[in-house]
Structure 1
Amino acid sequence: MAEWVQNLMDSMGYLGILLLMIVENVFPPIPSELIMPSAGFAASRGDMNIFLVILMGVLGSVLGTLPLYYLGRAFGEKRLIEWADKYGKWLTLSGKDIRRADDWFDKHGTKAVLFGRLVPGIRSLLSLPAGMSEMPLPKFLIYSTIGSAMWASLLAGAGYLLGENYDRVEQYVGPTSRIILGLVIVGAIWWFVRRKREQAA
């Protein structure tokens, strides 16, 4: 995949970075941990400008958050509560749980969006709850932009400094993202089992 990403950026330049980062947020299997360090390496060779690389990375990342944000907004909290009350018992999920989660996101959503952009594995998924909780679009865009700028700068900077060894970034970050995603899944299973036990008691 690294060679394909590099070839796309070589042929399309900054537009390639923009498109790859949009797609990365909608289809996470194309990782930003590969895209941005590769672009940073291209900048270190003098083929691109590092600041434009970061700018295109941030712009693509923010644009890529919008489809899932609007999907969450269209589905909405009310529909989700109705669905949970009707079918959620199979998942030990109720409308009350949805309201509680929504209240949590109302309180901590800005921090979740800001720092969640720095967490591989869940960074693209945060747009759904942001949309469902009806986080105002300007606020969502501001915090997404700040978080995405930090992430893109970190990855592109690492690729710039590592040069031909830019792929080491993905080697280190890739396993970390899998660990984080695994912890999220384990947490969800733990919550599921605990709810089942509470219902059985």
Structure 2
Amino acid sequence: MNHWIIHLIEQGGYWGIFALMVLENVFPPIPSEIIMGVGGIAVARGSMTFWPLLLVGTVGSTIGNYVWFLLGDRFGYARLLPLVRRWGRWMTMEWQDIEKASAFFRSHGQWVVFALRFSPFLRTMISLPAGLAHMKHWRFLVFTFFGAAVWNALLIHGGRLLARFTGAQEVLGWAIAALTAGVIGWYLWRVATWNKNRA
């Protein structure tokens, strides 16, 4: 399965990476570290080039995060609360999480949108409180785009470095297995420990 995922990313080309990066930021099927890392290996092999890969990956990240931003901006606290109370278990999101993220956003301002692009767990979560705070759309998009661009560039570079080593494909396969197991385990743990009263 791991080799199939690598093959799927490589065969999908730029459009495939764009689509996966959008989905990864809405509901992560495959972590961006894997998507852009495989892209970096493709750059090292000569089947992709750096700047188009960086552009499509970053635009995909920005659009995926914008979905959560729009949800917060259009729904607002009043309409989002019943949604979280009803579907919070399956969204693995408690109202307390949203309140904490919103307080953090209000304390640190727009730069937190840029900085949290480098956090595996919070980079998508922060988009929702940014929308709830009705941050200006253009400002959110700019800070998200440039934060994602820096992160994606680092991932591509990491993939290029990995491609130099013998057995890089096998290492990446194990990394995919570990990250996939981690994501599934985290999701199941959140579902099992979700507390409706707290939410």
CA gap 1:39/1:102 in 2 versus in 1, 3 angstroms? closer
Where does residue 34 of structure 1 map in the other structure? 34
Where does residue 168 of structure 2 map in the other structure? 165
Letter in 2 for 1:165: A
Letter in 1 for 2:168: N
Kept in 2: contact 1:160–1:166 (CA 8 A): no
Where does residue 24 of structure 1 map in the other structure? 24
* Secondary structure, aligned partner of 1:13: helix
Separation in 2, partners of 1:63, 1:6: 23
Kept in 1: contact 2:70–2:131 (CA 8 A): yes
Kept in 2: contact 1:116–1:122 (CA 8 A): yes
Kept in 1: contact 2:61–2:148 (CA 8 A): yes
Task: List 4+ stretches of structure 1 deviating above 6 A.
Answer: 81-84
Kept in 2: contact 1:21–1:32 (CA 8 A): yes
Higher relative contact order (CA 8 A, sep 6+): 2
Can you give the 5+ residue segments of structure 2 that lack an aligned partner in the other structure?
Answer: 85-93
Deviation at 1:66, TM superposition (A): 1.5
Kept in 2: contact 1:22–1:64 (CA 8 A): yes
Where does residue 68 of structure 1 map in the other structure? 68
CA gap 1:80/1:60 in 2 versus in 1, 3 angstroms? closer
Where does residue 197 of structure 1 map in the other structure? none
Where does residue 116 of structure 2 map in the other structure? 116
Where does residue 132 of structure 1 map in the other structure? 132
CA gap 1:59/1:82 in 2 versus in 1, 3 angstroms? closer
Q: Percent identity?
A: 35
Deviations 1:69-124 (A, max 9, x none): 1111122135468999xxxxxx997xxx95x9746523413122111110002211
Separation in 2, partners of 1:61, 1:117: 9
* Secondary structure, aligned partner of 1:125: coil
Deviation at 1:2, TM superposition (A): 3.9
My pick for the range that moved more, 109-118 or 13-22, is: 109-118
Correspondence 1:80-91 to 2 at 5 A: none
Separation in 1, partners of 2:169, 2:108: 35
Deviation at 1:40, TM superposition (A): 0.4
Can you give the 5+ residue segments of structure 1 that lack an aligned partner in the other structure?
Answer: 85-90, 194-201
1:59 aligns to 2:62 (yes or no): no
* Secondary structure, aligned partner of 2:109: helix
After superposition, the CA RMSD in angstroms is: 3.4
CA gap 1:116/1:166 in 2 versus in 1, 3 angstroms? farther
Deviations 1:135-173 (A, max 9, x none): 111110111011101110010110011106277578499
Kept in 2: contact 1:26–1:65 (CA 8 A): yes
Q: How many residues are aligned here?
A: 173
Question: So what's the TM-score if we normalise by structure 2?
Answer: 0.71
CA gap 1:142/1:2 in 2 versus in 1, 3 angstroms? farther
- Over alpha carbons, which structure has the higher Rg? 1
Kept in 2: contact 1:34–1:167 (CA 8 A): no
Where does residue 198 of structure 1 map in the other structure? none
